[in-house]
């Protein structure tokens, strides 16, 4: 056994104690006969056995959450805040969360620490402070009556997270739901259940039984959860196709959906070229392209196109891809063999469409699911590679001449999650940002998602917002009360 494989396998055994990963229901760990294996994408091998929640376990988790909702929602806001603060205090010292994330999702250590784990902790700290700041309005009607509103929790919230940055999704979904007075049933992606298991161990010790429940499984488990009659909110991060399926399965209820993206990144001729190249490359390759906001379509003004492309290729060549435990590694593996094959198919599509590869385009090693940073040019705007989300380290670079032209192409996909504009002309930057159909637009940077700002998409990139005050408002419903005097 290689040193790399030995290290990963031993770390996984230590975290799971060699046992199958249980569900968390009503404050207790529950095991099931049916299980699935989770794969470490760095070594391409099984590292843990995970219990599958069938219909009966999902029903029990939801029923438990529904019962716990009554007492949790009636707690004084500052009491709820104490639980969230305690969770944040406890998890900041739990190194196993980051290790589990590195093992199960291939997230490099530096990114897990700064981006994912940090986001998880900050979300609980931030929303703890929101618990006693939920206010309502009084509406003036007449001298004989008055009207006021109440903001109330929904009840049970189903939280379904993606596999690429588990901590970054768990925090902004679970923390505001709890702060608003809801209870939760969490179903992490079956591709990265290990971080949620560490999360559940902490939640078991911190929160009252039934307030936080965690179930594992695949499509069937998800269907049982979103279609349950006592689940009134579904908060999901993942692909657009799955988001559409969830709405069909769940029926009439509240949805917060953070879905796919094909983000345009516009580089005007007066941009700081060094900064634009660096931030665009970070925005594309730092998670091996496995992010909904990836800088996957770069539009560069013709006057600086050749210079930008040459610099961008040189930067891409310098990125280290390998063992995510290595602090010098910039990008880890893709999540699975299936995802690797998907990326390869997009590369083939790009070639058939007439695109040229300037760098990359191939799998890196036979061990694990590693793929080279890949840069295409000469790809038609209407091709599959230019229109569909790859969710891998493959991007296309286009040239443009006019602002109207680039805005037209930027808005030409069904997605609208994020976009970026690089220019020294702030007036041009803001005017362009207003024309872009995207939920977030970065100016002279890329990929910054503040915990106290809203995040979400336009068009097929989703509905609802996470983060900031909007994140907690999404998890409250409004009741109007009319009083006749």
All residues at 6 or more sequence positions from 261 whose CB lies less than 8 Å from its CB, including other chains: 292, 293, 294, 296, 389, 415, 416, 417, 418, 457, 461
Nearest to residue 384, comparing CAs of 357, 348, 419?
Answer: 348
- The answer to whether 454 touches 470, Cβ cutoff 8 Å, is yes
Tokens of 444: 């002279």
Instruction: Using CA atoms of 9, 290, 343, 45 in order, give the dihedral in degrees to the nearest 10.
Output: 10
Residue owning tokens 């843990």: 48
Residue owning tokens 């290290």: 7
299: β partners? 266, 398
From residue 289, alpha-carbon distances to 2, 203, 222, 286, 323 in Å are 27, 31, 25, 7, 16
Q: How many Cβ atoms are within 10 Å of 298's Cβ, its own excluded?
A: 28
From residue 12, alpha-carbon distances to 20, 32, 92, 385, 404 in Å are 11, 20, 20, 36, 52
Cα–chain center distance at 232? 21
Catalytic residue among 57, 101, 190, 258: 258
- The answer to whether 456 touches 473, Cβ cutoff 8 Å, is no
For helices 194-206 and 166-179, give the axis angle rounded to 10 degrees: 30
Nearest to residue 118, comparing CAs of 166, 156, 152, 163?
Answer: 166
From residue 78, alpha-carbon distances to 83, 129, 242, 467 in Å are 9, 9, 37, 20
Tokens of 33: 């006969």
Told to judge if 292 belongs to the known catalytic residues of this protein, a careful annotator would answer: yes
Longest dimension (CA), the chain: 82
Classify 354 in phi/psi space as left (phi over 0), alpha (psi -120 to 50) or beta.
left
Rg (the chain; Cα; Å): 23
Told to judge if 131 belongs to the known catalytic residues of this protein, a careful annotator would answer: no
From residue 147, alpha-carbon distances to 144, 150, 238, 484 in Å are 11, 10, 40, 9
DSSP 3-state percent helix, strand, coil across the chain (nearest 5): 40, 25, 35
Catalytic residue among 292, 349, 466, 474: 292
The set of catalytic residues is: 258, 292
């Amino acid at each position: 056994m290689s040193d790399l494989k030995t290290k990963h396998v031993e770390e996984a055994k230590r975290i799971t104690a060699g046992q199958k990963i249980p569900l968390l229901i009503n404050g207790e760990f529950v095991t099931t006969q049916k299980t699935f294996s989770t794969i470490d994408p760095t070594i391409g091998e099984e590292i843990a056995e995970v219990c599958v929640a069938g219909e009966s376990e999902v029903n029990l988790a939801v029923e438990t959450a529904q019962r716990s909702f009554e007492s949790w929602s009636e707690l004084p806001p500052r009491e709820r805040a104490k639980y969230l603060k305690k969770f944040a205090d406890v998890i900041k010292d739990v190194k196993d969360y980051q290790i589990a994330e590195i093992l199960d999702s291939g997230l490099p250590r530096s990114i897990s620490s700064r981006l994912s784990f940090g986001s998880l902790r900050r979300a609980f700290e931030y929303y703890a402070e929101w618990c006693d700041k939920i206010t309502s309005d009084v509406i003036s009607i007449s001298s004989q009556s008055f009207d006021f509103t109440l903001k109330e929790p929904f009840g049970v919230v189903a939280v379904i997270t993606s596999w690429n940055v588990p901590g970054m999704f768990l925090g902004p979904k679970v923390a505001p739901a709890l702060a608003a007075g809801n209870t939760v049933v969490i179903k992490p992606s079956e591709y990265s259940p290990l971080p949620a298991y560490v999360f559940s161990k902490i939640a078991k010790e911190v929160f009252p039984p039934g307030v936080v429940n965690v179930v594992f499984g695949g499509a069937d488990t998800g269907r049982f959860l979103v279609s349950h009659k006592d689940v009134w909110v579904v908060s999901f991060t993942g692909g657009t196709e799955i988001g559409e399926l969830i709405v069909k399965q769940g029926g009439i209820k509240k949805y917060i959906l953070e879905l796919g993206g094909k983000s345009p990144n516009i580089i005007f001729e007066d941009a700081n070229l060094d900064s634009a190249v660096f931030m665009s490359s970070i925005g594309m390759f730092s998670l091996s392209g496995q992010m909904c906001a990836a800088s996957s379509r770069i539009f560069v003004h013709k006057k600086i196109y050749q210079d930008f492309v040459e610099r961008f290729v040189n930067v891409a060549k310098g990125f280290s891809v390998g063992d995510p435990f290595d602090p010098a590694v910039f990008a880890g593996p893709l999540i699975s063999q299936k995802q690797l094959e998907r990326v390869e198919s997009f590369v083939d599509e790009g070639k058939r469409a007439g695109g040229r590869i300037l760098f990359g385009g191939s799998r890196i090693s036979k061990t694990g699911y590693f793929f080279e940073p890949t840069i295409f040019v000469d790809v038609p705007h209407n091709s599959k590679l230019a229109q569909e989300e790859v969710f891998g380290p493959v991007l296309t670079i286009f040239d443009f001449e006019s602002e109207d032209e680039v805005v037209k192409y930027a808005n030409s996909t069904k997605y609208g999650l994020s976009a970026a504009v690089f220019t020294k002309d702030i007036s041009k930057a803001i005017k362009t940002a207003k024309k872009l159909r995207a939920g977030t637009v970065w100016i002279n940077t890329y990929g910054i998602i503040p915990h106290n700002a809203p995040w979400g998409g336009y068009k097929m990139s989703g509905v609802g917002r996470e983060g900031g005050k909007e994140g907690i408002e999404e998890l409250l419903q409004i009741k109007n009360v009319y009083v006749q005097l």
